[in-house]
Amino acid sequence: MVKALGRTGLSIGPLVVGGNVFGWTIDEKRSFEVLDAFFAGGATMIDTADVYYAYAPGNVGGESETIIGRWMKERGNRDRVQVATKVGLLEVGGAKGLQPAVIEAAVEASLRRLGTDYVDLYFAHSDDESVPQEEVARTFDRLVQSGKVRLLGASNFRQDRLESALRISDDLGLTGYTVYQPQLNLMAASAFPAQYRSFCAERGMGVLTFFALASGFLTGKYRRLEDVRNSSRASALSRYFNARGQAVLSALDHVSAETGATPAQIALAWIIATPGVTGPIVSATSVEQVESLLPAVTLRLDDAQMALLDQAAARPA
């Protein structure tokens, strides 16, 4: 299954490979295995960032890009792989954000680590209201005109800020953002509401969502707060043990009983079926995990199942 990424002219596989785990929770060898499994399953795009994964002890950032670059070189598949990376959260030359100098230095560093002369999709990782949007737009446009970047994306922008950024690029005749990347999962449906989805659809934007499984909560593995007290994920997962969390797990269990699919597959299928969404970004740390998630691509939820999941996702926490 291949999907058009909005009106960008780019087609991608049904799932986008999340590169945040490479060089963090899995080493290079395991990362290669996971990448091979995803691409054997039809994936064509990898989503990473220069900041992945600077927060791990001993890391400085860029580890994920470096592993992806080595994998593409070893497999000789750069022409068959689409790479999305990001700028803005990693300190470059003593500064971070979307200042022109940071963007220009960061893209060069990303290209070196990836071992390529262009990035298919370059995201502003987060909005930076300290820099005039016209300056940001002109800087990104220069990268496109130079051939170093093919498409531009925005991540974690408020709707009004994305609207104004697009208006500025339109008015100035500059290359604008054509892809948006929000958080979206059954525990965070309000992070990308219907109004925002409709705006992106009207603009013909591609939409790639992150945190698809809510740090693993939507796998159904964690049922009680006690299940995560001694886990490294405790801080991320503890916020989900509330009325909404219980409603979502109950809905997943109901749909699982009807379909035979796992909660994780259902959670992904819900995102894929959500209007205005191109596809989810999905991370895995083993070949077995990849293979367990791929059936979500062909899973079709009926209207009643979607409504049940929508209602659970909308429940107050």
pLDDT in tens, 168-226: 999 999 999 999 999 999 999 999 999 999 999 999 999 999 999 999 999 999 998 88
What element of type H or E holds 31? helix 28-40
Whether residue 137 lies inside any domain: the answer is: yes
Helix ranges (H only) for 158-238 are 159-172, 194-202, 234-237
Instruction: Give the range among 7-11, 27-31, 128-132, 249-253 with minimum mean pLDDT.
Output: 7-11
pLDDT over 80 (residue 1): no
Distance in angstroms (rounded) separating the CA atoms of residues 59 and 112: 17
Distance in angstroms (rounded) separating the CA atoms of residues 88 and 161: 16
Average pLDDT, the chain: 96
Percentage of the chain lying above the pLDDT 90 cut = 94
Segment 84-111, tens digit of pLDDT: 999 999 999 999 999 999 999 999 999 9
Per-residue model confidence (pLDDT) at position 193 = 97
pLDDT over 80 (residue 82): yes
CATH number at residue 64: 3.20.20.100
Whether residue 204 lies inside any domain: the answer is: no
Whether residue 80 lies inside any domain: the answer is: yes
- Sequence-distant (6+) residues with CB within 8 A of 159 are 195, 196, 199
- Sequence-distant (6+) residues with CB within 8 A of 221 are 227
| Full domain range(s) for residue 15 | 3-181
Confidence of residue 233 (pLDDT cuts 50, 70, 90): confident
Whether residue 264 lies inside any domain: the answer is: no
Provide the 3-class DSSP secondary structure of residue 120.
Answer: strand
Please give the tally of structural domains in the chain. Answer: 1
Distance in angstroms (rounded) separating the CA atoms of residues 131 and 10: 30
Per-residue model confidence (pLDDT) at position 61 = 98
Whether residue 215 lies inside any domain: the answer is: no
pLDDT over 80 (residue 232): no
Per-residue model confidence (pLDDT) at position 191 = 97
Per-residue model confidence (pLDDT) at position 225 = 86
Percentage of the chain lying above the pLDDT 70 cut = 100
Whether 155 and 180 have beta carbons less than 8 Å apart is answered as: yes
What element of type H or E holds 3? strand 3-4
- Sequence-distant (6+) residues with CB within 8 A of 271 are 184, 185, 209, 212, 277, 279, 280
Peptide linkage before 52 cis (omega within 30 of 0): no
Report residue 235 as tokens. 């801080």
Whether residue 283 lies inside any domain: the answer is: no
pTM over 0.75: yes
- Residue entry with tokens 């497999």: 75
Whether residue 189 lies inside any domain: the answer is: no
Whether 13 and 2 have beta carbons less than 8 Å apart is answered as: yes
Report residue 213 as tokens. 């499984």
pLDDT over 80 (residue 230): no
In single-letter form, the type of residue at position 131 comes to V
Per-residue model confidence (pLDDT) at position 236 = 85
